[in-house]
């Protein structure tokens, strides 16, 4: 800011000289110059821009964490349902060897009917008799179950995990990857997929890997988060894993 110069005049000197006394006057008073104002505006703009950038990044980070957790919980709910039912495969409390539908459409022993990299079908006997007890067959509700990855009706690169057909999806076309791996009781991987009937009898553990996309897209940054979850299902009716 420009300096303001103040001059005072001595009253006695004014009288001696026959002049009209003047107490004070300003020869050069002023405020901020245009350059100073422009510099101040520029600095303020830079500071405000930096603050907004930090705020925007922090907001996006919090939203991303929220979407990622949502995707993980979504995937976990699907996996929990699959694990709960797969581990019951081959449940045969009455030791049925010729149970209706237990061999997948034909009489037989409950067990894993088909096992591929993206699908599994299995049977078990847990209800149907009086009072809801096992009845030595596999033709009652939820005793013949198939899980599969199905891309029907979904955009390219996406699909659904279905239960007993494409008409019963567990997801909403937001699955980007789904795979199943099979292991013997000693931990040896069964890699000749689809498994033969003989290999299916040796399955002790099923490893499920599921990748889902978050339900809420990030419209501001133009992306959607994905979450990959894995879970193991031990077929408890074939003994504990060694």
Q: Which helix or strand (DSSP H or E) is residue 113 part of?
A: strand 112-115
pLDDT of residue 67: 75
- Count of Cβ atoms closer than 10 Å to residue 154 Cβ: 16
181 against 62, higher pLDDT:
181
pLDDT of residue 70: 83
Residue 20 in any domain: the answer is no
pLDDT of residue 9: 47
Residue 167 in any domain: the answer is yes
Residue 152 in any domain: the answer is yes
pLDDT of residue 204: 95
- The rounded distance, in Å, linking the Cα atoms of 153 and 51 is 45
Asked if pLDDT for residue 4 goes beyond 70, the answer is no
Domain count, the chain: 1
Residue 32 in any domain: the answer is no
Q: How far is CA 125 from CA 48, 146, 147, 227, in A?
A: 68, 15, 18, 34
pTM above 0.75, yes or no: no
- The rounded distance, in Å, linking the Cα atoms of 20 and 101 is 125
Token digits of residue 186: 């000693």
Beta carbons of 74 and 170 less than 8 angstroms apart: no
Beta-carbon contacts of 165 under 8 Å, excluding residues fewer than 6 positions away, are: 146
235 against 216, higher pLDDT:
235
Beta-carbon contacts of 132 under 8 Å, excluding residues fewer than 6 positions away, are: none
Beta carbons of 150 and 159 less than 8 angstroms apart: yes
Residue 168 in any domain: the answer is yes
Give residue-wise pLDDT tens across range 117-151.
999 999 999 998 777 899 999 999 999 999 999 99
- The rounded distance, in Å, linking the Cα atoms of 171 and 108 is 32
- The rounded distance, in Å, linking the Cα atoms of 164 and 48 is 57
- The rounded distance, in Å, linking the Cα atoms of 10 and 157 is 94
Residue 125 in any domain: the answer is yes
Average pLDDT over every residue of 160-169:
95
Residue 228 in any domain: the answer is yes
pLDDT of residue 36: 85
| Site of tokens 């949502």 | 70
How sure is the predictor about 71, in pLDDT bands with cuts at 50, 70 and 90? confident
Asked if pLDDT for residue 14 goes beyond 50, the answer is no
Residue 150 in any domain: the answer is yes
| Site of tokens 């029907």 | 152
How sure is the predictor about 101, in pLDDT bands with cuts at 50, 70 and 90? very high
Average pLDDT, the chain: 85
pLDDT of residue 33: 87
Give residue-wise pLDDT tens across range 175-218.
999 999 999 999 999 999 999 999 999 999 999 999 998 877 66
Beta-carbon contacts of 235 under 8 Å, excluding residues fewer than 6 positions away, are: 86, 87, 89, 90, 112, 203, 204, 205, 206
pLDDT of residue 52: 86
User: From the CA atom positions of the chain, what is the Rg in Å?
Assistant: 39
How sure is the predictor about 59, in pLDDT bands with cuts at 50, 70 and 90? confident
- The rounded distance, in Å, linking the Cα atoms of 117 and 148 is 9
Share of the chain above pLDDT 90, in %: 59
77 against 130, higher pLDDT:
77
pLDDT of residue 200: 95
Average pLDDT over every residue of 53-66:
78
pLDDT of residue 232: 97
Its domain, for residue 234, covers 74-238
């Amino acid at each position: 800011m420009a300096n303001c110069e103040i001059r005072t005049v001595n009253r006695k000197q004014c009288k001696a000289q026959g002049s009209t006394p003047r107490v004070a006057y300003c020869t050069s008073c002023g405020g901020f110059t245009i350059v100073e104002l422009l510099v101040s505006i520029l600095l303020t703009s830079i500071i405000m821009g930096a603050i907004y950038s930090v705020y925007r990044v922090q907001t996006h980070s919090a939203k991303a964490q929220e979407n990622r957790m949502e995707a993980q919980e979504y995937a976990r709910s699907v996996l929990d349902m699959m694990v709960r039912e797969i581990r019951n495969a081959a449940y045969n409390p009455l030791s049925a060897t010729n149970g209706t539908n237990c061999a997948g459409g034909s009489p037989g022993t409950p067990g894993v009917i088909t096992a591929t990299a993206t699908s599994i079908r299995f049977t078990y006997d847990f209800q149907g008799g009086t009072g809801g007890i096992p009845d030595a067959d596999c033709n009652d509700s939820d005793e013949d179950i198939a899980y599969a990855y199905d891309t029907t009706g979904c955009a390219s690169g996406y699909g659904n995990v279905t239960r007993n057909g494409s008409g019963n999806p567990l997801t909403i076309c937001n699955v980007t990857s789904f795979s199943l791996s099979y292991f013997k009781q000693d931990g040896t991987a069964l890699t000749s997929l689809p498994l033969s009937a003989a290999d299916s009898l040796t399955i002790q553990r099923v490893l499920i890997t599921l990748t889902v996309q978050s339900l809420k897209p990030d419209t501001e940054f133009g992306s959607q988060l994905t979450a990959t979850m894995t879970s193991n299902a031990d077929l408890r009716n074939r003994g504990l894993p060694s």
